[in-house]
Amino acid sequence: MKAMTPSATLAAVVGATPLPRTEVTKKVWDYIKKLDLQDAANRRMINADDKLKAVFGGKAQVSMFEMTKLISDHLK
């Protein structure tokens, strides 16, 4: 897989090192699990903290499927 460079916003969560898309997603999930950001009632929803809210375009909560698309917008 080709290494992608995260935007400065996404780098606050996963680091600034270029990574394959799969590794970026894995690191975001590690971050979500570490801070217990999955919604307790609906595990498919992610509650954003300040860093993730910037990645998610200001949204306080997104589905895990929408999250993947929003992360892609921060990779080049």
pTM: 0.92
H helix runs in 1-76, sequence order = 8-14, 21-34, 50-55, 64-72
Question: Rounded to the nearest 10 degrees, what angle do helices 64-72 and 21-34 cross at?
Answer: 130
| Parts of the chain with a pLDDT under 70 | none
Q: What is the pLDDT of residues 5-25, one digit of tens each?
A: 999 999 999 999 999 999 999
- For the chain, the average pLDDT equals 96
Tell me what pLDDT residue 1 has: 82
CATH number of the domain bearing residue 39: 1.10.245.10
What the block records as the tokens of 47 is: 């509650």
Q: Do the beta carbons of residue 55 and residue 74 sit within 8 Å?
A: yes
Number of domains the chain contains: 1
- Its domain, for residue 52, covers 3-72
What the block records as the tokens of 68 is: 């993947």
